Structure 1
Amino acid sequence: MNDSFHSKAILDVAGTPYEIFKLDAIPGSARLPFSLKILLENLLRHEDGVTVRRQDIEDLAAWDPQAEPAKEIQYRPARVLMQDFTGVPAVVDLAAMRDAMQALGGDPRKINPLQPAELVIDHSVQVDHFGSPEAFSLNAALEFERNQERYQFLKWGQQALDDFKVVPPDTGIVHQVNIEYLSRVVFPKTSNGHAQAYFDTCVGTDSHTTMVNGIGVLGWGVGGIEAEASMLGQPVSMLVPKVVGFKLTGSLREGVTATDLVLTIVEMLRRHGVVGKFVEFYGPAIASLPIGDRTTIANMGPEYGATCGLFPIDQVTLDYLRLTGRDEAQIALVEAYCKAQGTWHTSDAPEAEYSETLALDLGDVVPSLAGPKRPQDRVPLTEMATHFPSALAALKAERNIPDKGPARIEMAGQPVTITDGSIVVAAITSCTNTSNPSVMLAAGLVAQKAVALGLTSAPWVKTSLGPGSMAVTRYLDHAGLTPALEALGFHNVGYGCTVCIGNTGPLPEPVSRAIAEHDLCAVSILSGNRNFEGRVHAEVRMNYLASPPLVVAYAIAGRIDLDPYRDPLTVAPNGQPVYLKDIWPTQHEVAEAIAKHVTVDEFTAAYADVFAGDARWQSLEAADSQTYDWPESTYIRNPPYFEGMTLEVTPVSDIRGARCLALLGDSITTDHISPAGSIKADSPAGRYLIEKGVEQKDFNSLGSRRGNHEVMMRGTFANIRLRNLMAPGTEGGVTLHQPSHAPMSIFDAAMRYQSEGIPAIVIAGKEYGSGSSRDWAAKGPRLLGVRAVIAESYERIHRSNLVGMGILPLEFLPGETAQTLGLTGYETFDISGLENAEAKEVEVRATAADGTLKSFRTKVRIDTPNEVDYYRHGGILPFVLRRLAA
């Protein structure tokens, strides 16, 4: 490696010398935001004259805050983080690449992580059982029964792949495990006999990887495809972004939680517009902001649209590392390294230069919810009583839902009434909040006060608690709050994402039947980060995000359409009305509980043997081989990405005679494109599984089947709430085949086009691909024969994933949309002028059945030279495979 700036130095930490690359060797670097200093150190350390040149370092040091992003850099994160839904297909791809490498005459062991890769199994547990002390053990048993094939495959990967670790199921949520245990903050590495230290950085196959920004680790979500390339030593190609500074002042008022704060920040940043930008938090409030609050804010980076939301490293960071049981030598390294690099944060530290700035006085934050279908749609708690009727009326009008009145049902032996606005799911879920002791203990204190008054949860509410990590269970137990939570039905249902990713499980049968028969607009309330349509539960039309203590309060109320400050939540057994203020803990009570019960012992005990797993995991048998033998399975199958692949690259050709599979509107999420939830028996995926002898009770979820491309391509565009404008009046994955106009599933139409040798395209509106960093939202369309997407705008990760799978992302020019151009989706499309993927614009010609021609230009969203190479090769995986094979 080169060292043009003579930045290499030795840092002595308690007698251990570490090689570091000093930032102060670069003139002008002190003014840079923290995130760009991390990138600058990364370039210094990897300067090789080819992927990283002296000019790249100088350009980054001379960063112009106001300039539009144009400088490309090659960034190498320290490690890769995965969860099982996205991790399984990533390991499947690595196994398939090993086979392909062998077929090309190469050594399959070259397909191996060159960067540490860590996978946490957290997305598979479902809430089948709830409201009982046996809920956790029953759900865990079902999880293993359903997912044994997947888990055996991951165990094979752990044995066959170097530097690949798996945290077994029933341990914790990936991002919570990341901040509580996996993250180093400063990464120590020994190579060739000498120690090196550098900033801990990561990319993850989950969009909420940004949570780690809360402890000063730069990380963000990428598609599984890009993560695999990073594991295989390929740099992340990126444009140096604009950096938005977000100044925090003041302190939270009594009764306000970190969840209320993050919902306010999400609303502000979405309104400001930070897609593709870095966000950094600074200001006088930082020094008193606990790590739990920081990580809650950082976690929701995808919801406010930023690549990351970074907090500085300071004494609060060190205190957290010590609390969570990190080694004292590692803590000393973090402090010494950051001070040596000029990145140690103090209250009198000079402010960095930012592209734009926003400010928030924490004293202005009020208790809030967000919904009913987007996390940025914040509603002050005081306005819920008037907000909900308006939102309900709008939904009923939009979906033409009739008003059939309330439903009388029997629950737990008593007659009850549920109606529009009844809460049928109340879940303390998601690492967004479960990682934060202040809101978790507040939820327990609310429960304790409620139980003391004789209150119970409404009988029609499906209650659940997913603690996020075993440390949370330990400190709730230690505080004596678990019995009260369980008295209200908030029993531990499993250490996973549960309701936040739609693993909600079935509703009680009387509730489910009532919703269907009365067309009820039922509600969920969850302490999660996403509330998109169809995500939480297929039968629940309206979903609200809220803090854990509010989730408990609303479970008691059983309905969403009230003002908890003016309206009673319920009536106590003594006949007295109970208001929110009667059960809400003070800040002092919460702080006292944290000081007494959140201790280092809870974390060290929880993570004492984190990779060992329970008896079920330890008993799993896995093959000891360098290549996978692909047994007959409906969970794991060898994907067809490398079939017929040669070392030679076929030149890029124009797209001729394409047909549109779907004409879509705005805010089409990756959940719409590749849902993770349940599989219906009459869907293409369900029919496939039935043909393979799988009973409906064993379908599991689409998320759990991501290792089987046959299931996933059939589940593509199969979200029950997807509305294809080519098939007006329908919901779900329905389209009209052209030119026959025959209605059929999108999958069936795609297969028919493929049999006819016709390429497919998709047309969409703004923010196409927002939401989770879901690689199957690009893989699925590719296997359906989609060659291009034309949209008004894209979410960052999804656009990258499309290129990574060899799909051409095109963007309508400003002022033009499918509607202004009069496109129906029934046309035949020709896309020309790609110039071997180097064109900045291409021409699209849409020819209607009567011969009418509409011609328009679109912007090519292949944004970097690396992406040009990926597209030419048919995707990032063939590109990497050819390089390694050569």
Structure 2
Amino acid sequence: MPSLDSFKSRRELDVNGKKYVYYSLPAASENGLGDVSKLPVSLKVLLENLLRNEDGTTVKAEDIKAFAAWLDDKGSANHEIAYRPARVLMQDFTGVPAVVDLAAMRDAAKMLGSEATAINPQVPVDLVIDHSVMVDYFSTPEAFDQNVAREYERNKERYEFLKWGQFAFENFRAVPPGTGICHQVNLEYLAKSVWTKNEDGVDIAYPDTCVGTDSHTTMVNALSVLGWGVGGIEAEAAMLGQPVSMLIPEVIGFKLSGSLPEGTTATDLVLTVVEMLRAKGVVGKFVEFFGPGLSNLSLEDEATIANMAPEYGATCGFFPVDAETLTYLDTTGREHDQIALVEAYTKAQGMFRTDLEPSFTDTLELDISTVRPSISGPKRPQDRIALDEAADSFAITLGKEFGEVDADAQKRAKVEGEEYSIGHGDVVIAAITSCTNTSNPSVLVAAGLVARKAIERGLQVQPWVKPSLAPGSQVVTDYLKKADLQKDLDALGFNLVGYGCTTCIGNSGPLPKKISDAIQSKNLVATSVLSGNRNFEGRINPDVRANYLASPPLVVAYALAGSMNVDITRDPIGYDDDNEPVYLKDIWPSSKEIAETVRSCVTAQMFEKRYGDVFKGDEHWQAVEVSGSDTYSWPESTYVANPPYFEGMTMTPEAPGDVINARIMGLFGGSITTDHISPAGNIKADSPAGRYLAEKGVPVTEFNSYGARRGNHDVMMRGTFANIRIKNQMLPGTEGGVTKHFPSGEQMDIYDACMRYKEENVPLVVFAGELYGTGSSRDWAAKGTLLLGVRAVCASSFERIHRSNLIGMGVLPLQMPEGQGWADLGMTGDEIVTIENVANITPRGNIAVNIKFADGTEKTVEALIRIDTENELEYFRNGGILHYVLRNLAET
């Protein structure tokens, strides 16, 4: 549907004889919007989005005018907008539930008498299968093939489902396993910087934008693609053509000057940036990079910085288009007409980087020449440590964090059957992994050169180290082989283990048993060094308690040294065949050597070849058999199941029913996060989910994680509100997912109580304090709430996105008046709650919540209905966003 175009911005752009329609920001400025030339480029992208999608309902003229007003208040106005990204990016863990919902909608469409094929994504969706490979095998030429085979054994049911989706849905593509990490595939192939679509015979050009079901979607910001990670429900909404609700953000400008000094890498730069921005405080804000220093960075360097936006807390870390962008598009094999369009479009829109400094909410500055070699850890990405202070820092950490001092700090454990022992600080995992660094040829080549020089000096990786190389795309293998560096990495045990997220997301695989036993025998603080973006406590490996982020060449160096106790800037990193000491400086390549090698080994032809038939997959993927049916034949599976969201649905929505004589599922305090609510981590045998899997014949060793089973609602609803640290104040002094059933007064698991209430036809409500649903957006925090039978959540305040997700699942969010929270009212959980007149609610109206106490007294509270817009009200009246979209698509 064409834009209302209140500001008469529709124009034509001629690029090498081909004509495109676009919505011009300068034209809008001339026609009543006012001067927006000094807006940050990231906000210009949002502004164009609203100009193009103005419909008078979700996007109004006043929403567009709010961008001009932003220049006066620098983002303090808190204006909410409806943003429509051009496309959606998914990885397999978080993408499976979205495809499950699409498949379920097809079944429902048939039930409603429509064609199943009416249900398709309304914008392009790419799902990259990258989160399932684990490092079970390593340091052998066969490791890659063995890990791939094991991956397919573990994930057969999920892969059959995803491959069916690949052929069943329009506007949906699945990139098979073994191709690369979604963010690197996005950067190297999927992203276009400027997107186009044909509408009524007219080619429309607009900025490439995306949302992704992974927080590191921000990596593509380096290509000037505005994108960030969202929860599953927001991604599904975008996928189905619905707007993403957001506030026009504050934008922090980060000025870069100078260039990297000799001996440093892009990883050292990004760890410094993370530290600075965390100290600044940029949560919920955009960060946009500018300044002369950008001219001294490659686009891959910028991608390294953009990738770690979640680690510095920003929504995105944006880089405007410049000459380097065009060079990168050419180097990675993009078509010349596309590159010409990117240049012409961004210059016409004032989005091409110039010396003009935009107007930011606030700024900070870094002279890149002051960056020092660094690592980060032992458990937070923002805790940067200068490399020459790393050994001393670990000694302090050993005592302060782990209580190991004096003689305890020196204890060692003999490794069974070996002539060596291990102690605190020994590096047992050295992993070149993660989208952050494996997208950057300079640091991958540097790692290969360090390996080559180490071998020339007769060095080897220490025998207790588990090394691995998991590149973000197959192109990495091509250029490492062309530079003859893969053989050097192989010689040190850094053989290819897979293409995908491995160690960084906890898929490091088990340590050799003898190493694990030695660590456990003395309760050692073993360490890992990885080129990733996350090192949270317990994330990397259960045997490893201290984890450090580092550049790929430093990963190799620490594998050689074998311990964090070695000061690799001063101490020998090893000894040659003549027992002469070898220092890091002896094997560290110069910047010139790295640059020359990169220039000689990275070619556009590599990208063109690897991505030429990228959706075909290898022989394993081709051997996955699926039917060609329009609807999915749901097998008996504990990984993928048809959810019950659409049972009994009709084409005409029934008015939302009142909540009569509801029981309280939980009374919670303030800052209950989505991590508290949503299922996460390993599935315990004595949990409701564990008991369910056992009943299905699944052995405990194959329980896997909630993350791997996100496509099965029976598992996930059993894990909702089951966090071991959640505190239900109906049972003061207890922790974990328990509640009290009434009127019996029996204490039981929340899931079991909810199912009992469901059998008794008793609706449920939840009461909570301030900032309910804070933290990362997690779709199962809302989906699980609905499936447990909760009709309304009454909280003192809500986190914005979780509030929206509750509405998206048909759960009513109500905000209690100040001073009338559940604790103020003297509630204990045995009350009966009634909420009437639900069918007649209006956005941000009031509704009476009647609370009947056990002694027969009653109190009525006028709660604020936190359905904030007419669009949200339509979702709620339909029973949720999926129902709303399903009805609309089934009618057409």
What TM-score do you get using the length of structure 2 for normalisation? 0.88
C-alpha contact 1:237 1:866 (8 A) present in aligned 2: no
Contact 2:663 2:830 in 1 (8 A): yes
1:146 aligns with 2:150: no
Residues 49-108 of structure 1 show CA distances to partners (whole Å, capped at 9, x for unaligned) of: 333333332332332443424323222211111111111111100111122233334443
Q: Does 1:329 align with 2:337?
A: yes
Q: Secondary structure at the residue paired with 1:339?
A: helix
Matches within 5 A, 1:211-360: 211-346=219-354, 348=355, 350-360=356-366
Could you say which residue in structure 2 is the equivalent of 1:118? 126
Residues 469 and 495 of structure 2 are in contact (CA less than 8 Å); yes or no, is this contact kept in structure 1?
yes
1:421–1:522 contact (8 Å) kept in structure 2: yes
Indicate the residue corresponding to 1:706 in structure 2.
710
61-70 or 41-50: bigger deviation:
61-70
| Aligned twin of 1:63 | 70
The reply on whether 1:100 has 2:108 as its aligned counterpart is yes
CA contact (8 A) 1:664 1:725 kept: no
Quote the residue 2:476 is aligned against: 472
- The AA in structure 2 aligned to 1:44 is L
Q: Do the aligned partners of 1:92 and 1:707 also contact (CA within 8 Å) in 2?
A: yes
Mapped to 2, the partners of 1:267 and 1:593 lie a distance apart of 31
The aligned amino acid for 1:420 is H
Spell out the pairing of 1:51-200 with structure 2 (5 A cutoff): 51-64=58-71, 65-200=73-208
Q: Select which of 375, 383, 398 maps to 2:381.
A: 375
Q: In the TM superposition, what whole-angstrom CA distance separates every residue of 1:623-682 from its partner, at most 9, and x where no partner exists?
A: 22222221222221001222344512415759964243877989x674994335x55555
| Cα 1:499–1:744 shift into 2, 3 Å | farther
**Compared with structure 1, are the counterparts of its residues 171 and 423 closer, same or farther at alpha carbon in structure 2 (3 Å cutoff)?**
same
Structure-2 separation of matches of 1:823 and 1:264: 49
Task: Name whichever of 370-379 and 196-205 sits farther off.
Answer: 370-379
Q: 1:402-421 counterparts in 2 under 5 A? A: 406=411, 408-410=413-415, 413-421=417-425
- Distance in 2 (CA, whole Å) between partners of 1:204 and 1:512 is 36
1:241 alignment partner, SS class: coil
Q: CA deviation at 1:475?
A: 0.8
Per-residue deviation, 1:581: 2.7
Query: 1:490 and 1:760, CA in 2 relative to 1: closer, same or farther beyond 3 A?
Result: farther
- Aligned partner letter, 1:482: Q
Whole-angstrom distance in 1 between the partners of 2:660 and 2:253: 43
Residue from 625, 630, 633 that aligns with 1:621: 625
Contact 1:301 1:307 in 2 (8 A): yes
Q: Map 1:764-779 to 2 at 5 A.
A: 770=775, 774-779=778-783
| Aligned-pair CA distance for 1:306 | 1.7
- The alpha-carbon distance between structure 1 residues 471 and 831, as it changes in their structure 2 partners (threshold 3 A), is farther
The 2-side partners of 1:294 and 1:36 are apart by 19
* Distance change >3 Å, CA 730–CA 193, structure 1 → 2: same
CA distance in 2 between counterparts of 1:408 and 1:203 reads: 48
Task: Provide the C-alpha distance between the structure 2 equivalents of 1:158 and 1:73, rounded to a whole number of angstroms.
Answer: 32
Shift of 1:598: 1.7
Quick one: which amino acid aligns to residue 218 of structure 1? L
- Secondary structure, counterpart of 1:611 in structure 2: coil
The structural deviation recorded for 1:449 is: 2.0
- 3-state SS in 1 of match to 2:419: strand
Cα distance in structure 1, aligned partners of 2:307 and 2:344: 27
| 1:692 counterpart letter in structure 2 | K
1:638 to 638, 642, 646: 642
Write the distance in 2 (CA, Å) between the matches of 1:625 and 1:697: 34
Counterpart of 2:23, as a letter, is F
Supply the AA of the counterpart residue of 2:28: I
Provide the residue aligned with 1:3 in structure 2.
5
SS class of match (2:563): coil
Which of 45, 48, 57 is matched with 1:50 structurally?
A: 57
| Equivalent pair of 1:408/1:415 in contact (CA under 8 Å) | no
* Number of matched pairs: 873
Shift of 1:548: 1.5
| Residue type of the alignment partner of 2:546 | M
SS of match in other structure, 1:213: helix
Could you say if the C-alpha distance between residues 174 and 855 of structure 1 is closer, same or farther in structure 2, counting changes exceeding 3 Å? Answer: farther
SS in 2 for 1:505: coil
Task: Tell me the equivalent position of 2:505.
Answer: 501
Tell me the CA shift for residue 790 of structure 1. Answer: 5.8
Q: Which sits farther off after the overlay, 331-340 or 514-523?
A: 514-523
Which amino acid counterpart does residue 12 of structure 2 have in structure 1?
I
Q: Which moved more, 1:622-631 or 1:117-126?
A: 622-631
Q: Which of 19, 42, 54 does residue 17 from structure 1 map onto?
A: 19
Q: 1:660 to 1:672 in 2, by over 3 A?
A: closer
* TM superposition shift of 1:753: 6.6
The answer as to whether partners of 2:660 and 2:763 remain within 8 angstroms in 1 is no
Cα distance change on mapping 1:63 and 1:591 into 2, 3 Å = same
State the SS of the aligned residue for 1:195: strand
Deviation at 1:472, TM superposition (A): 0.6
**Residues 813 and 595 of structure 1: CA distance in aligned 2, closer, same or farther (over 3 Å):** farther
SS of 2:357's equivalent? Answer: coil
Q: CA RMSD in A?
A: 4.0
TM-score with structure 1 length normalisation? 0.88
What is the SS of the residue equivalent to 2:420? strand
Give the structure 2 partner of residue 589 of structure 1: 593
Q: Given that residues 723 and 737 in structure 2 are in contact (C-alpha distance below 8 angstroms), is that contact kept between their aligned partners in structure 1? A: no
Greater mean alpha carbon deviation, residues 22-31 or residues 508-517: 508-517
In structure 2, relative to structure 1, the CA distance for the partners of 1:817 and 1:661 (3 Å cut) is closer
Q: Deviations over 1:213-255 (max 9, x none)?
A: 0111111112222222222221222222221111111122222
Answer yes or no: is the 8 Å Cα contact 2:820–2:861 preserved in 1.
no
Please state if 1:880 is matched with 2:885.
yes
Shift of 1:700: 4.4
Q: Which residues in structure 2 correspond to 1:542-581 (within 5 Å)?
A: 542-581=546-585
Is 1:492 the counterpart of 2:486? The answer is no
In structure 2, the residue matched to 1:361 is 367
CA gap of 1:814–1:88, structure 2 versus 1, over 3 A, is same
Greater Rg by CA: 2
Secondary structure class of the residue paired with 2:431: strand
Q: Which moved more, 1:751-760 or 1:217-226?
A: 751-760
Distance 1:524 1:655 in 2: 54
Post-superposition offset of 1:606: 1.7
In structure 2, C-alpha distance between the alignment counterparts of 1:815 and 1:513, rounded to whole Å: 55
Distance in 1, matches of 2:374 and 2:819, equals: 35
Secondary structure, aligned partner of 2:20: strand
Q: Indicate the SS of the match to 1:81.
A: strand
- Distance in 2 of aligned mates of 1:574 and 1:762: 72
Aligned to 2:28: 26
Query: 2:70 aligns to what SS in structure 1?
Result: coil
CA distance in 1, matches of 2:585, 2:769: 46
Residues 298 and 231 of structure 1, relative CA distance in 2, 3 Å threshold: same
Structure 1: distance between partners of 2:668 and 2:425? 32
Distance in 2 between residues matched to 1:538 and 1:846, nearest whole Å: 47
Q: 1:471 and 1:300 mapped to 2: Cα distance?
A: 22
Q: Structure 2 regions of 5+ residues with no counterpart?
A: 30-34
Structure 1 residue 759, shift from structure 2 partner: 3.7
- Does the 8 Å CA contact 2:717/2:787 hold for their aligned counterparts? yes
Asked if structure 2 preserves the Cα contact closer than 8 Å seen for 1:39 and 1:75, the reply is yes
Moved more, 74-83 or 44-53: 44-53
Which SS does the other structure have where 1:415 is aligned? coil
Residue 415 of structure 2 aligns to a residue whose secondary structure is strand
CA contact (8 A) 2:737 2:750 kept: yes
